[in-house]
Amino acid sequence: METTLDTARKLRATKTHSSLAALVRREWPELYNIHRKLLLGKPLASYDREWIQEVARASGWSVEDVEEELRSLDESPRTRAERYRRLLEKYLAEADELYQKGDYIQAGEKLWGATTALVKLYAALRGIPVIHWSRGKIDRFIENNVPGNLRDKFYRLVDTASRLHENFYEANMPPEAFRYRYKLVRSIIEELVKVLEEA
């Protein structure tokens, strides 16, 4: 059972906003309100759940992973890096399993989830907040924070993986085109993971 002291600590923590929490508060006040509810253990309304579903659809992440992301907006990006690394590994493993089964639609969506987790991981390791459910924010982050030699790889990764994400909703990509893009995204991710490990 939560004590009054625990609640007071949580409230103080929410007043010390990280730059990510402040950004969400400005641009998506509905999501910021969900953040506070999750942080304080308050029940979510049906419209809160709809917002979470929408973020899950945009990011390629599960509802549970989105809830955890929203709950932890006040944490330093660096403290979230290990979680992003685990999410990257989780979504890559799920994508590969689905790909092997021939479920290209789901495999592509999981690979998009891995891509957004990788972008978040790269940003977190540099202490820079990035909102992964906004494609424009991802592009701006890459343009302003990724050095030239890696920038092209990140752009190619996000551009190609986003086509796999679109295919999740449209299911109109020929199998040959899907397999080509899937393998391309996997190879770029492997390359970028090696860069992160060496840094």
Note the pLDDT tens digit of each residue in 108-147.
Answer: 999 999 999 999 999 999 988 887 777 888 999 999 999 9
Check whether residue 60 and residue 151 sit in a common domain.
no
Number of domains in the chain: 2
pLDDT value at residue 17 = 41
> Rounded distance, CA 190 to CA 16, Å?
36
Contact in structure between 102 and 128 (CB atoms under 8 Å):
no
Question: Of the residues 18, 48, 71, which one is the last residue of a structural domain?
Answer: 71
End-of-domain residue from the set 52, 71, 90: 71
Residue 11 pLDDT: 43
Predicted local confidence at residue 199, as pLDDT: 73
Task: Answer with the one of 46, 71, 96 that is the final residue of a domain.
Answer: 71
- pLDDT averages per 10-residue partition of the chain, 199 residues: 47 50 88 94 97 94 95 83 95 98 97 96 89 84 94 97 96 97 98 92
Same domain, 93 and 27: no
Same domain, 83 and 136: yes
Q: Does one domain contain both 83 and 149?
A: yes
Going by the DSSP 8-state scheme, the letter that residue 72 receives in this structure is T
Report pLDDT for 18.
61
Question: Are 66 and 132 in a shared domain?
Answer: no
How much is the pLDDT for 65? Answer: 96
Task: Please tell me whether residues 134 and 111 are part of one structural domain.
Answer: yes
Asked if residue 50 and residue 124 are part of one domain, the reply reads: no
Question: Both 50 and 98 in a single domain?
Answer: no
Query: Which of 72, 80, 84, 146 has the alpha carbon at shortest distance from 115?
Result: 84
| Residue-level pLDDT at 74 | 86
And the tokens for 176? Answer: 């040959």
Could you tell me the residue range of the domain that residue 25 belongs to? 4-71
Of 144, 146, 84, 72, the C-alpha closest to 120 is 84
Do residues 81 and 166 both lie within one domain?
A: yes
| Residues 113 and 45 reside in one and the same domain | no
Same-domain status, 100 and 51: no
- From the list 49, 121, 58, the residue with the least C-alpha distance to 87 is 121
Do 122 and 154 belong together in one domain?
yes
CATH number at residue 173: 1.20.120.330
